[in-house]
Amino acid sequence: MPMSEHVTTVETITLSGAKLAADVAIATAEETGIAICVAIVNATGGVILVERMDGVVDIAYENAIAKAIASQTFKRDTGALSDYFQQDKSLGPPMTARHHILAVEGGEPLRTSDGTIVGALGISGAKHAEDVVASAAAAAAFTAAT
């Protein structure tokens, strides 16, 4: 059946793919001795998975989701997004306040091996520099598996 010029197909992460990324993030956190929350959103920014490790601070739940949404919305890691907002201070406050976006390290787009962004993940619960270790490992493992 031919595609309509008024309709598009969106590639998105599956629950299985989200679980793969979350498992790698949690394993990485365990190896480094930190407790995290991991949130995964699909290609349209809808939350499809959240996992909290024992002992993680309560606010990590909201922060992980906000990092995942930020990464998916802007199609970049949240560390780079933070740098972007620092360059133009007029953008950061209105964007982060309106859209529940958290622009600090720990959010990564989830890309297939051909580079298509099919979702994003957010990690929160430790220092930002520690969150990004788990988020980068999870994103790399997802890409390698696709």
Beta strands in 1-146, from DSSP E residues, in sequence order: 37-42, 47-52, 107-111, 117-124
Residue 68 near residue 96 (C-beta atoms within 8 A): no
Domain ranges of the chain: 15-145
pLDDT in tens, 21-54: 999 999 999 999 999 999 999 999 999 999 999 9
* CA-based nearest residue to 61, from 36, 25, 98: 36
CATH topology of domain 15-145: Beta-Lactamase (3.30.450)
Would you say the pTM of this structure is higher than 0.75? yes
Report the share of the chain in percent with pLDDT over 90: 74
Residue 120 near residue 142 (C-beta atoms within 8 A): no
Burial 13-44 (b: 16+ CB within 10 A, else e): beeebbebbbebbbebbeeeebbbbbbbbbbe
First to last CA, the chain: 27
Q: Six-digit token pair at 88?
A: 């133009």
**What pLDDT, on a 0 to 100 scale, did the predictor assign at position 62?**
94
**What pLDDT, on a 0 to 100 scale, did the predictor assign at position 1?**
53
pLDDT band at 98, cuts 50/70/90?
low
Q: What mean pLDDT do residues 128-138 have?
A: 96
What gap in Å lies between CA 61 and CA 87, rounded to an integer?
A: 28
